[in-house]
Structure 1
Amino acid sequence: MILFFVLLLVLVGFALQKWMIVHGLQGVQSTYRPEENIVDAGEVFFILIEIENRCKWPIPYVKVKMYFDGDIQVMESALRFAKESGQGGGSVETSVWMRPGQQVELKIPVKISGRGRYVLSHPNLFGGDFLGLCETRREVAIFREVIAAPKSLPEQKIQELMGSFLGDISVRRYLYEDPLMTAGYREYTGREPMKQIDWKQSAHSRTLMVKEYDHTVEPVLTVLLNIETDYSGTDYRQKERNLEVCYCLARSVCEELENKGIKYVFCTNGKQAGAAGDFHMVREGLGHRHFLKILECLGRGLYEAAFSREKLLEFAKGELSKGVVLITPFREDFEQCLEFRHLQQEIGENLLLLYGCEIDGGEDCDLDARS
């Protein structure tokens, strides 16, 4: 009788072993995502892994393992295994016991040192068998990416570069006419555009009359970031450094406009890593969501131009009377550009040129970017 009972236990054990090997992760659902899709380079953020047991029975063993390459640094509090070099990367793993219907959220603190687009590796789930002899593995195959935005230049530096220019813009905000608010009419002088002529008033007065508008429209600036350069030197690291400073400079300029409450348009001709469609321009706006779109554009930016600097200048034509901030790596980039000369003639003092080669970003703009 005892022998029969022992044999029964052995058979039940082998049956459970076989079932657990096949169904060890059945009913276990998992997903993962970065805490934020757009982060600041050098700042700590979390990778969130969510696990749910949808079975009606407990699962005694579920292990999660996720690998990070050298570009993503795992904080020591979560690091189980690091590369021998100790320069970032490594894998994080942990195991949990789950009740029926239980949900578990794991937080992995990580940091990205340089600007760029980073695709996360897929975490793996491991389910144990009844006897603990082997594991069942399943990959959580969901595409996730993180965009690391460029760092900002020191606030004092950007105020020195833009102080007088923004001061003039603020004064001129009352000099722009609002075409939706008619204040009156006056005689046509020949300097006004034809579309401004009011033909009904002209017929009444038997002379050409134009509308006078109220002056209440706030200025809208255009921020242009040029990546195409004619740099012919052999020091390519210096070229890349100047390009990286330009990305930092573009972020700092947009931040300053946000702080001043000045609406702006942003456009760059830099290629966008992993972007679908036309991702080179962010339309007129202001506020946190508008700024996040620009940070994503700057974070995805590469060191190659998607189109020419001449085409980039075309985006400024609609805002010539408002002001243009043009950021470029070297002073020589637009010396032979005919479109740039036309822009200078038309916009005059409303044009601010900023050169990456003349900005000392120091540690704020390094060459750790993935471009």
Structure 2
Amino acid sequence: MLALFGLCLVAGVWGFPYLWFAVVRNRIELRTSFTPRYVVVGDEVKLGFTFSNTSLLPCPLVELSVELPPGLSANEDGTGRFIRFRTFVGARQQMDVTVTCYATRRGLQRMQYYPVYLTVNEGFGLQSLYLQRRDESMLRIMPKMLPELAFQPEFQSITGDIERFHWMYQDETRLRGIRDYQPGDPLKYIAWTASASQGKWMTKEFSASTDVSVCLMLNAQMFEDYWMGVRQNEFDALCEMLLTVAVQLHEKRFQVRFVTNAALLRRLRSGTLGNLSAASIRAVLGEVDAIAVESFTKTLIHHAAGESVQQSFLIFTSYEDEELRTIMDEERKKGRLIKVFYGPDAKIHPTAEKRPGGSIAREVYG
């Protein structure tokens, strides 16, 4: 009897790992999430892992390891992109683990390109299960603003020095954005959906029909052939410059349009995103890629053909050749104001010049 018991015990110890492996292998799920989903460079990010075991057997040892996307760091000083930890998950249980990361680089961070590796065993180490899980969670890291004084001379050359204020009604067909409710705002302008989601009263803000329209153009082309490569740090610097100017223009009630030849999420060609608020432009800059999908000269020609010469172009670029300069000169001869903001390490054609722009004659209506 004792021998039979010993034989059953040995058989159980030998067979349990195989039974555990067969039961658990297809009953493990893993999800990742970012909180919040929009952050600024330098902010903390909560990366959550949800490990679910839907089988009837426990997972005594679960080891998780993952390489973070290039825009995230495991340490506040920007070093370290690997996360590894161990945990225990019982039968038909769910385990939530949250780790703190730090946003170090602007751009869209996608976990689908960085799989999570799991090592699970039955507790004795006799049978291990190796899994790889991919998730569709994304994080948008938005650029920081530069100090306002960084563009003060250039900005005054765009807006002018004197503003004359006139009273007039807002144009309800020109939604400018959403802001906090202020006493005296008309009841019909309350943004009910935004108020419900934010937990406070929000109101719609409209532009006047006489507001001046300015188009901000971001160039992702860094080489003679636009497809030759990218310069990530240089492109990120252009995004910071554009955001700083966009915020200042929005504060002065300019209508701001945004055009780029860079790749956007679910957009494989360049295009115009229309009138955007400063917050919307910042969100777009959090997902725009440093890859150019066409030459900037082609983008400029296409957009200029469909816009009035009264619309001013503010171009943010780190590459300018003779062809692009010729197109800009032709637009200037038509009467269009073109102001060029160059990146910190711009590559300018030897015959090209960093030409100053004019100013936008305007009146501010309130």
- State the TM-score, normalized to the length of structure 2: 0.66
CA contact (8 A) 1:29 1:51 kept: yes
Matched with 1:255 is: 247
CA contact (8 A) 2:71 2:106 kept: no
| C-alpha distance 131-278 of structure 1, shift in aligned 2 (>3 A) | same
Letter of the structure 2 residue corresponding to residue 124 of structure 1: Y
Query: Does the residue aligned with 2:126 lie in a helix, a strand or coil?
Result: coil
Matched with 1:96 is: 87
CA contact (8 A) 2:261 2:293 kept: yes
Matched with 2:219 is: 226
Query: Does the residue aligned with 2:334 lie in a helix, a strand or coil?
Result: helix
1:120-179 deviation line (CA, Å, top 9, x unaligned):
41112222125333421111133555554444322221344324533579759999xx8x
Matched with 2:46 is: 46
CA contact (8 A) 1:220 1:319 kept: no
1:322 deviation in Å?
3.9
- State the TM-score, normalized to the length of structure 1: 0.65
| C-alpha distance 62-259 of structure 1, shift in aligned 2 (>3 A) | farther
Distance 1:33 1:167 in 2: 46
Asked if 1:109 corresponds to 2:96, the answer is no
1:62-114 deviation line (CA, Å, top 9, x unaligned):
3222134776421279xxxxxxxx95333x22222224443322223223533
**Aligned to 1:153, which of 139, 146, 167?**
146
> Percent identity over the alignment?
15
| C-alpha distance 261-110 of structure 1, shift in aligned 2 (>3 A) | farther
Distance 1:44 1:268 in 2: 29
| C-alpha distance 262-106 of structure 1, shift in aligned 2 (>3 A) | farther
Asked if 1:7 corresponds to 2:7, the answer is yes
Which one has a larger percent helix, Structure 1 or Structure 2? 1
CA contact (8 A) 1:40 1:151 kept: yes
State how many pairs are aligned: 306
Asked if 1:355 corresponds to 2:347, the answer is no
Matched with 1:341 is: 329
Distance 2:27 2:320 in 1: 62
CA contact (8 A) 1:149 1:295 kept: yes
CA contact (8 A) 1:37 1:146 kept: yes
| C-alpha distance 69-278 of structure 1, shift in aligned 2 (>3 A) | closer
1:20 deviation in Å?
1.4
Distance 1:116 1:336 in 2: 29
Query: Does the residue aligned with 2:102 lie in a helix, a strand or coil?
Result: strand
CA contact (8 A) 1:226 1:309 kept: no
Matched with 1:320 is: 309
| Gaps in structure 2 of 5+ consecutive residues | 174-207, 347-366
Asked if 1:329 corresponds to 2:318, the answer is yes
Distance 2:108 2:285 in 1: 14
Larger CA deviation: 161-170 vs 58-67? 161-170
Distance 1:20 1:309 in 2: 62
1:275 deviation in Å?
5.4
Matches within 5 A, 1:240-319: 244-270=236-262, 272=263, 276-286=267-277, 288-297=279-288, 300-302=289-291, 306-309=294-297, 311-316=299-304, 317-319=306-308
Matched with 2:20 is: 20
CA contact (8 A) 2:270 2:293 kept: no
CA contact (8 A) 2:270 2:294 kept: no
Letter of the structure 1 residue corresponding to residue 342 of structure 2: Y
